Structure 1
Amino acid sequence: MRLQKVLASAGIGSRRRGEELIAEGRVSVDGFVVREQGRRVNPETAIIEVDGDRIVTRTGLVHLALNKPRGVLSAMSDDRGRPTIADLLTEFGGGGGLFHVGRLDGDSEGLLLVTNNGELAHRLTHPSYEVPKSYLVEVSGPLRREVPRTLRAGVELEDGLARADSVQIVDQANGRVMLEIVVHEGRKRIVRRMMETIGYPVHRLVRTRHGAVYLGTLRSGRARHLTRGEVGALYRNVGL
């Protein structure tokens, strides 16, 4: 397929716009800048970038951001009939062929990435790629002064030491404290377990960011397609 047609199919703009980008030297294929018009590429295998951002050209790929409500399972089905994220994805095919990237426990809420790219899902959850995830965490106050330092230094859990990449106090009011905690690990319930270990059980936990994707104003229970920039950044984060 001609490169300018692939760019148009990927949402870059018209074929004419693709031709302009190629002429300006802003498009690369498999690491090499392409300037000639009419270059043929295989959209299923070629690595195409515009201004350094990866353009996903494989057909049929889906990349979603979902705001998971409390009480909904991070699963595509449940033998006991409990509500799952598949129930929230009916307009996207009901979750058929999709993977949730990591999970949020039933009592937690917020951003959950969903895709049908198994390799991307695997890499985004693998600790070696160190993709950061941000959480808003509400606990009972007052908060001991050393808590942020303790979380950054590391808390010993039953499955090993767990560290926060950063900890910020966001708000303190009415006997409650809101923290923003950033981690890059994906161990089960890691933030809740860290807080419980140091004596602060979590009342509410909301994931607000996964890599380059932010929860933003996405309403609870709703999903949206990731933007081209978000998808490109995620692929870049994990070397795809």
Structure 2
Amino acid sequence: MSLSSANEAPRPVRMVFTSRAGGVSSSPYDSFNLGDHVGDDPAAVAENRARLARVLDLEHVVWMEQIHSHTVTVVDGPQPGPVEATDALVTTQRGLALAVLVADCVPVLLADHTNGVVAAVHAGRMGARNGIVRRAVETMRDLGATSIQAVMGPAASGRHYEVPAEMAADVEKHLPGSRTRTEQGTAGIDVRAGLVRQLLGLGVTNIEADPRCTIEDADFFSYRREGTTGRQAGLVWLP
């Protein structure tokens, strides 16, 4: 298993991004697939999730039924299953890890450890366009956050994320800074770039963005590269 962490112990907030290595799933989900909605063997996904919890010493992980919406849900304890129809989770509860699944979309982790508020956000093209990150920041502030750190994990890069010109223009209208050109000179979208500009406009200045591209880096699952594939995760929690 390969984990990259933006925060090393003993810091008061933990953020982790997984890769596709170190699990038990078979091709095309090999091997550390954490998505239970992509056609993988449920037993393999369960073992991968259990392995993740053991390695990170987590008792409770909250997952989402992600639908590319702009819905934000506040959770205050363990859940019996994935939180339905939402693309961002926010909590003030310690020991409750929030998880976001991706395979090209941007996993955004937000934290204000001083005031004890964290969020995990699924920022795909539609969710980012429709303000999912902005709404997550606003929800955190409603819960007392005043100094928010943002960390974005590996995702599709603008140099490979080709879309029709009309789509790029539409996303740019709603998420300024996202329109770009691909390596082939065609219309493209860089969701992370647009989110950085949006966060700065919201007064969030402590921003880190992993530059790795899931489309070109085989260490990560990529829907645009592979079609049928697994999902890696980003997790954030207050220890």
| TM above 0.5 | no
The structure showing larger relative contact order (alpha-carbon pairs under 8 Å, at least 6 residues apart) is 2
Structure with a larger share of its residues in strand: 1
> Structure 1 length normalisation: TM-score?
0.28
Larger radius of gyration, structure 1 or 2?
Answer: 1
